[in-house]
Structure 1
Amino acid sequence: MLSYRHAFHAGNFADVLKHSVLSLVLDYMTRKEKGFCYIDSHSGAGMYQLADEYAQKTGEYKDGIAKIINDEDAPESLEPYLSLIKSLNLASDRNTDPSADISTDTSNDLDVYPGSPGIAKAFVRRQDSSHLFELHPTDIQHLENFCQRWRKVFVKQSDGYQGVLGLIPPPSRRGVVLIDPPYELKEDYHKAVKTIIKAYEKFSTGTYILWYPVVKRELVEQMSYTFTKSSVKNVLQVEFCLESDTDEYGMTGTGLFIVNPPWQLTSQLEEILPYMKTKLGSDDTSYTLNQLIAE
């Protein structure tokens, strides 16, 4: 199945959590001069136009990034992420109107929103490499166009799960792996966890980020159980749910499993999560932050 298009959901509350964490992880990786490898198993289009029919049809970004992009009370932990989104949109404004004065621009408009490759591109350096996988025939074209001027990036239209396993351990022995499937098939819940377990057996010092939707609680519980019964150590689980669990169809929340998180990520999320509840949530919104498996 290749019907999923992230363009409908770009910039929603799930992206805010996922991409703020990805920004913090990549920012941490750049604090050492030695290069690292970034691997993205389900990359999507790379960059999304929020004025197009997909984003406008759902308007999900209006209840996500749009609510916080210009908030002066945002916690410091969100600064790498929010600064990136602002700079991309200022650049977009400049491309549209070359005479615009970037120093005095006060527009609140959001023209573009990056997918995970767009986040990564802002952080990786000359000494770093990136490997992006995508199967969707339309999104792979957009992704290839997005990556045209990106040095040391390798884009493949192939199975991202196998792609991850084929690239580790990286020569630098430093790496960040994002696994972010569309979960069109129930098998993705099990397959994503198993891929990280297999990858960990080959490269136990890498940082792995696994995104998941909260649609059926039992599927998330199965993921947690599979991790706890494996050899994987140091797993942080974070979850942000707009609504309580329900048997009805639809995503009520979002979460991440993070293997080998940066040491300060827990304290950073302790700032981000209550802020997200205040700005994006309601009285029914909840969040959890749990060291699922100790180091």
Structure 2
Amino acid sequence: MLAYRHAFHAGNHADVLKHLVLDQVLRYMTAKDKPFRYIDTHAGAGGYLLKGAQAQKKAEYREGINRLWSRPDLPEAVADYVHLVQQFNLPAPEPGQPAPVLEKGMTPPLALYPGSPSIARLHARPGDSMRLFELHPSDARTLAAHFGGRQVQVINEDGFAGLKGQVPPTPRRALVLVDPSYELVADYGKVVATMRDAVQRFPEGVYVVWYPQIARVEAAQLPKRLMSLSPKGWLHVRMTVAQTDSQGFGLAGSGLFVINPPYTLHETLQGVMPFLVEVLAQYDGASYLIEEQPA
């Protein structure tokens, strides 16, 4: 859907959950010496200016990353994620100079929010590679301007179709993030079909699927549809922090379905989700769900 621009929603509560989970999975992937490929089917622009006109239209980041930014009581996994976003907000180095380092106790102003490709790049090692799909031409150009390099390919194509050519990768180790806008109801079916094909081609891959919690039956059914095609273990986490309006419109929360999750992820989320719900809640009925089928 070319009309969708993530800049309007950057740093909101859904980004917090998505990128905290992504950060934890990336830490697990990079704990082993073997290189891996990061594949992003809907990469966006890679980074967002929170003071820009699009982000300021609804300023959704104020109820997301902004609530965590300067808190001294963050659980370890939340602190790790916030630290990454703070790194992204450090000034760019002068030509020929090393990148600045976030010193202990330092909290830069919150001006930028990293997209998923930037989260992945902050973890990437010299042997790792990235494949970034983005259909919107403007966002694809932005990605190409900031993510060029021998190990990174920015592909201005539909990520649903493009994933077929990426799995299995060489070497056979990859993390795939699938997070379309879901503005078209057909996206839900495309997610299931794409994941079914990818898992058949590459059953050992780690797949992270994001979805919105909205008043649409397809959104509610998506996790169960993904459970049915997971060959080994899976983990599902959902966070509800806002109320829809009187007509049922609005983003109440979001969820992530992880196929072949790190064995550490369930315990980590059990420790941080109560904190996240308390801090990000916009109404008294805020809640979370974690369910898992171990491998």
Q: TM-score, normalised by structure 1?
A: 0.91
| Structure 1: gaps (5+ residues) | none
Q: CA deviation at 1:68?
A: 0.4
Q: How many residues align?
A: 289
Question: Does 1:254 pair with 2:254?
Answer: yes
Q: Secondary structure at the residue paired with 1:90? A: coil
Question: Does 1:73 pair with 2:73?
Answer: yes
Q: CA deviation at 1:231?
A: 5.2
Structure 2 CA distance, aligned partners of 1:57 and 1:21? 27
Q: Secondary structure at the residue paired with 2:90? A: helix
Kept in 2, the 8 Å contact 1:211–1:255? The answer is yes
Q: CA deviation at 1:175?
A: 0.5
Q: CA deviation at 1:62?
A: 0.9
| Structure 2: gaps (5+ residues) | none
1:290: which partner in 2? Answer: 291
Structure 1 CA distance, aligned partners of 2:135 and 2:257? 23
2:36: which partner in 1? Answer: 36
Question: Does 1:155 pair with 2:137?
Answer: no
Q: Which runs of 4+ in 1 moved over 3 A?
A: 100-108, 243-247
Q: TM-score, normalised by structure 2?
A: 0.91
Residues 136-162 of structure 1: per-residue CA shift (max 9 Å, x gap): 1111111111213x4400001001012
Residues 237-277 of structure 1: per-residue CA shift (max 9 Å, x gap): 10001135775122111001000110110111112211111
Structure 1 CA distance, aligned partners of 2:75 and 2:107? 21
1:128: which partner in 2? Answer: 128
Q: Secondary structure at the residue paired with 2:277? A: helix
Structure 1 CA distance, aligned partners of 2:162 and 2:85? 28
Which AA in structure 1 matches 2:115?
G
Kept in 1, the 8 Å contact 2:41–2:132? The answer is yes
Alignment RMSD (CA, Å): 2.2
Residues 167-196 of structure 1: per-residue CA shift (max 9 Å, x gap): 111111110000010111001112112211
Q: CA deviation at 1:164?
A: 1.2
Structure 1 CA distance, aligned partners of 2:108 and 2:195? 39
Kept in 2, the 8 Å contact 1:237–1:257? The answer is yes
Structure 1 CA distance, aligned partners of 2:213 and 2:9? 15
Distance 1:84 1:229, change over 3 A: closer
Q: Secondary structure at the residue paired with 1:195? A: helix
Distance 1:18 1:103, change over 3 A: closer
Kept in 1, the 8 Å contact 2:243–2:250? The answer is no
Q: Secondary structure at the residue paired with 2:77? A: helix
1:61: which partner in 2? Answer: 61
Distance 1:101 1:255, change over 3 A: closer
2:276: which partner in 1? Answer: 276
Kept in 2, the 8 Å contact 1:215–1:249? The answer is yes
Question: Does 1:208 pair with 2:207?
Answer: yes
Structure 2 CA distance, aligned partners of 1:184 and 1:80? 31
Which AA in structure 2 matches 1:212?
Y
Q: CA deviation at 1:105?
A: 8.3
Identical pairs, percent? 42
Q: CA deviation at 1:225?
A: 3.1
Structure 1 CA distance, aligned partners of 2:131 and 2:286? 35
2:190: which partner in 1? Answer: 191
Structure 1 CA distance, aligned partners of 2:271 and 2:65? 17
Which AA in structure 1 matches 2:44?
G
Kept in 2, the 8 Å contact 1:9–1:61? The answer is yes
Structure 2 CA distance, aligned partners of 1:101 and 1:152? 24
Distance 1:107 1:209, change over 3 A: closer
Distance 1:283 1:140, change over 3 A: same
Structure 2 CA distance, aligned partners of 1:8 and 1:245? 18
Which AA in structure 2 matches 1:143?
L
Give the 5 Å matches for 1:163-182: 163-182=162-181
Structure 2 CA distance, aligned partners of 1:28 and 1:103? 24
Kept in 1, the 8 Å contact 2:64–2:280? The answer is yes
Q: CA deviation at 1:224?
A: 2.7
Structure 2 CA distance, aligned partners of 1:235 and 1:244? 28
Kept in 1, the 8 Å contact 2:244–2:250? The answer is no
Kept in 2, the 8 Å contact 1:126–1:151? The answer is no
Q: CA deviation at 1:66?
A: 0.9
Kept in 2, the 8 Å contact 1:131–1:153? The answer is yes
Which AA in structure 1 matches 2:42?
H
Which AA in structure 2 matches 1:215?
I
Structure 2 CA distance, aligned partners of 1:137 and 1:179? 19
